[in-house]
Structure 1
Amino acid sequence: MTHILIADDETTIRTSLSEILEEEGYAVASTGTVAEAMVLLRDAHYDVLLLDVWMPDRDGLDALDEISTFPSEGKPEVIMISGHGTIETAVRATKLGAFDFLEKPLSIERTLITIKNAVDKRQLRADNRELKQQLAGGTSVSGNSISAKALRQQIRLMAPTNGRVLIYGESGVGKELIARAMHAESLRSERIFLELKCAAIPEDFIESELFGHRNGAVAGAPPEKRGTFERADGGTLLLDEVGDMSLKTQAKVLRALDEQSFTPLGGREPLHVDVRVIATTNKNLEEEIAHGNFREDLFYRLNVIPFFVPPLRERREDIPPLVSGFLQELGREYGRPHVEIAGDALEVMKGYNWPGNVRELKNIVERMLILNPQAQRIERKHLPALMLRTPARPAGATEEFASLQQAREAYERDFILKKIDECLGNMSRAAEALGLERSHLYRKMRALGIPVREV
């Protein structure tokens, strides 16, 4: 729903405009002072502001100048109105960023057309901003493994449909990237893509984030808020880690999916939307259903097109192209676009188990660039200490030890390497974290076979 704020000191104009705009389906708020208008603009989201030039407490053009400094995503389109307008005033308003200038008495037909054009412009601006963010984040699935090729084929096949998608995979495997790639190849690619991280939002606020609220229905929040379902109208909504939703919220999401409509908290009328929903999870939802933690009916609504993204340890042949891509992407960001990686370093990376998957790989590439600002080639010695241990064991496997002493040494070696890695290779900090003198730490490392010069 489009939200409009009217700031005019004439009560009759505020009342009549509010009634007309509400009949046209807009959500309208009004005020008679600039001071209150500025408070409302900072506390809530408004798409369009109708602002009178002559206000009792402050000049409207002065307020327009301040509004022009607002962040782009929170800035409304401003339509100036005045009963004493001059060409000079209109020109100044336009230079300050006003969308248009209307003279009193207002023509209802022209006012409605101007508001519609302002809303369209704001929506286009928001969509362009979102598309730029998506392009900056990348939307392609890299890799030469059979799994990566299969994922790309699935995306090409399923993206043009409106079918709901449920993406399975461990944390960090790139589920969000799959969702963005699907949106980029869909018929909705020119509309907005929004992501809601279900696990990151407190339970008391997740319904407001999803469906929005009206009339101050949420204590401690702005009086009005558009939810992600409303903002994603016409585009794609990603519900990240949907398995972390409460059963109460799941019931409301189910109803919204079935009816493609919902009522904001504190609202009176349902809103109808056209949203394609993609969900991700790192949980086994069938087990969650068996334990009573996830609704079976919601599972079947979301699981129309299932995608499984395998962990990085099961597709090690994807590591070289991923590393190359991250070096190019992050190298451009840090002004070092030509950094390469040595073959022996790449072999070590291919042998590591990557518990954090692709996200961990990207973080480590970034860390190596930051910690080695002069290096034009990433060598084995630049890798984190944890990766320089013995070759990775298969996931879930346990190591056999001939004696308790061997088991103790293996644990100590892993623990020391972990602390060194946490301290980004800073030996003084690592020694302090381990409760050892630095010289004692070096002796311990040599005794355990840890190459001191390479950490």
Structure 2
Amino acid sequence: MLLVDDEPALLVALKQLARSLGHDPILARSGGEALELLEGVDAVVTDYAMPGMNGLELLEAIRHRDDSLPVIFLTAQGSERTAVRAMKAGAYDYVTKPFDVDELGAVLERALETRALRRSNRRLAAERNLGRAVIGESEAMKGVLSAIERLAPKDITVLVRGETGTGKELVAALLHAQSRRAAGPLVRFNCAAIPPELAEAELFGHSRGAFTGATQARRGFFAQADGGTLVLDEVGELPPSVQAKLLRALQEGEIQPVGAGRVERVDVRVVASTNRDLAASARAGQFREDLYYRLAVVEVVIPPLRDRPEDIPALAAEFGRRYAERFGMHDVRLSPELISELKRAPWPGNVRELENAVARMIALSGGGEIPASAFTHPRPAEVEGETEAPPSGTLTLREHLDAIERSMIASVLAEVAGNQSKAARNLGLSRSALIDRLKKYGLA
């Protein structure tokens, strides 16, 4: 709770009140000082009349940074016009001085409840936009989700770091979905998937005739993300020549398409992700140090799944629900013994490997409760110098095709109310072939 007033005696009284309510007060004697202390704050109590930046100017600056942060005004008796202006400008509430302790305490409690509700609503809206639940039962992931909620409304560059498969793309999507840019485009650029000689043209665009094969002008990923968020996956793989141009785009908000003599203005928030230690790469001269500091204004580090096994039951249940629905299966459950086995596995491929493993077990099951015997622990990596075995949870091509076929058959059967002859005709199968597949997939 941030308390802002230029009168030391009033600040002491507010501090004592906040502590009596069980809150952690932070004190500021001016609006400028308050703006430097906003990180992690859940409510602001501010006086109106202060030297320099007054309370209304502070409110405007706060709303520009985080419009979900409740601001409570302290106004002198007879200053109703000021209070009305504050409420119209977006203040949560106001209390007249000298304030009644119980009244201010009640307003503070309501403000904090409103803050929590706004965060919850923002998370639910983000989940609806993403079409998936966001799961984080462990303290480590609660910390990550809390950081996302605080950072999303702030239009700053964020670096998301974590091992492959930990969910960096989900964190980037959440940052966009909970930001003021949520209605704008979310554009992804995989820095590791583009040949170095094409990376600049893909990122910044190119004019017609800029190089062999450029038969027409093309907007790059930066221009496509204008007004929204650009996610730079595996940003550590960008070639040095492109790193310099990316730095300019971040610093100046300007890009220059390849072969074009003009500079374009863009309004883009950048979220970068990497599985590397970019700080170490910068120190070793493998990545531009100035670009690293520009990207890592704030770093969000996602812990590996092996360090948060308490997240596995909820993740596995969500994946089970999702793939059972996709494959047209009903009443599919992961047994408690299976969940225990999943919690004991090392998961070198993290959440992505867990998802693949659950999808594989669902696809190969006949429905009902899936036993622990359906799961094979991932094999450890082979000795150094030998090829590492692929994660055992990864679906093979045959398993993917079987899952698709099972889903189609289940869907057609539902459409014809279980009439096998009609289903066989609709699927282009003989009745005997359909019966064989029904037995194979546990649908008989």
TM-score by length of 2: 0.57
Task: Give the equivalent residue in structure 2 for 1:295.
Answer: 288
Query: In the superposition, relative to structure 1, how do residues 365 and 137 fare at CA in structure 2: closer, same or farther (>3 Å)?
Result: farther
Aligned AA (1:213)? H
Given that residues 328 and 338 in structure 1 are in contact (C-alpha distance below 8 angstroms), is that contact kept between their aligned partners in structure 2? no
Task: Give the equivalent residue in structure 1 for 2:25.
Answer: none
How many residues were matched structurally? 272
Given that residues 261 and 273 in structure 1 are in contact (C-alpha distance below 8 angstroms), is that contact kept between their aligned partners in structure 2? yes
Counting aligned pairs with the same residue, the percent is 40
Q: Within 5 A, what are the aligned runs for 1:122-271?
A: 137-138=130-131, 140-271=133-264
Given that residues 356 and 395 in structure 2 are in contact (C-alpha distance below 8 angstroms), is that contact kept between their aligned partners in structure 1? no
**Displacement, 1:141?**
3.1
Task: Give the equivalent residue in structure 2 for 1:376.
Answer: 368
**Displacement, 1:365?**
1.1
Q: Aligned partners of 1:371, 1:314: CA distance in 2, in Å? A: 29
Q: Is residue 325 from structure 1 mapped to residue 345 from structure 2 by the alignment?
A: no
Superposed CA deviations along residues 69-101 of structure 1, whole A, max 9, x for unmatched, are: xxxxxxxxxxxxxxxxxxxxxxxxxxxxxxxxx
Q: Aligned partners of 1:421, 1:186: CA distance in 2, in Å? A: 34
Task: Give the equivalent residue in structure 2 for 1:285.
Answer: 278
Match among 322, 342, 353 for residue 349 of structure 1: 342
Given that residues 353 and 391 in structure 2 are in contact (C-alpha distance below 8 angstroms), is that contact kept between their aligned partners in structure 1? no
Query: In the superposition, relative to structure 1, how do residues 170 and 142 fare at CA in structure 2: closer, same or farther (>3 Å)?
Result: same
**Displacement, 1:380?**
1.2
**Displacement, 1:337?**
4.9
Q: Aligned partners of 1:262, 1:293: CA distance in 2, in Å? A: 24
Task: Give the equivalent residue in structure 1 for 2:353.
Answer: 360
Q: Helix, strand or coil for the counterpart of 1:171?
A: coil
Aligned AA (2:312)? I
Given that residues 331 and 337 in structure 1 are in contact (C-alpha distance below 8 angstroms), is that contact kept between their aligned partners in structure 2? yes
Superposed CA deviations along residues 191-212 of structure 1, whole A, max 9, x for unmatched, are: 1101101111111111111101
Q: Aligned partners of 1:299, 1:325: CA distance in 2, in Å? A: 36
Task: Give the equivalent residue in structure 2 for 1:7.
Answer: none
Query: In the superposition, relative to structure 1, how do residues 249 and 341 fare at CA in structure 2: closer, same or farther (>3 Å)?
Result: same
Q: Helix, strand or coil for the counterpart of 1:200?
A: coil
Query: In the superposition, relative to structure 1, how do residues 139 and 221 fare at CA in structure 2: closer, same or farther (>3 Å)?
Result: farther
Q: Aligned partners of 1:195, 1:367: CA distance in 2, in Å? A: 28
Given that residues 326 and 365 in structure 1 are in contact (C-alpha distance below 8 angstroms), is that contact kept between their aligned partners in structure 2? yes
Q: Helix, strand or coil for the counterpart of 1:215?
A: coil
Q: Helix, strand or coil for the counterpart of 1:166?
A: strand
**Displacement, 1:164?**
0.5
Q: Helix, strand or coil for the counterpart of 1:191?
A: coil
217-226 vs 179-188, which deviates more?
217-226
Given that residues 386 and 417 in structure 1 are in contact (C-alpha distance below 8 angstroms), is that contact kept between their aligned partners in structure 2? no
Superposed CA deviations along residues 15-72 of structure 1, whole A, max 9, x for unmatched, are: xxxxxxxxxxxxxxxxxxxxxxxxxxxxxxxxxxxxxxxxxxxxxxxxxxxxxxxxxx
Q: Helix, strand or coil for the counterpart of 2:300?
A: strand
Q: Aligned partners of 2:197, 2:343: CA distance in 1, in Å? A: 43
Structure 1 stretches lacking a partner, 5+ long: 1-131, 397-409, 427-455
**Displacement, 1:241?**
0.6
**Displacement, 1:287?**
1.5
Task: Give the equivalent residue in structure 2 for 1:386.
Answer: 377
Q: Aligned partners of 1:292, 1:174: CA distance in 2, in Å? A: 28
Task: Give the equivalent residue in structure 1 for 2:304.
Answer: 311
Please give the root-mean-square deviation of Cα atoms over the aligned residues, in Å: 3.1
**Displacement, 1:333?**
1.5
Q: Helix, strand or coil for the counterpart of 2:276?
A: coil
Query: In the superposition, relative to structure 1, how do residues 142 and 421 fare at CA in structure 2: closer, same or farther (>3 Å)?
Result: closer
Given that residues 353 and 394 in structure 2 are in contact (C-alpha distance below 8 angstroms), is that contact kept between their aligned partners in structure 1? no
Q: Aligned partners of 2:232, 2:275: CA distance in 1, in Å? A: 12
Superposed CA deviations along residues 294-341 of structure 1, whole A, max 9, x for unmatched, are: 000001101111100000000000000001111122222211253110
Given that residues 139 and 178 in structure 1 are in contact (C-alpha distance below 8 angstroms), is that contact kept between their aligned partners in structure 2? no
Q: Segments of 4+ in structure 1 off by > 2 A? A: 132-141, 218-222, 415-424
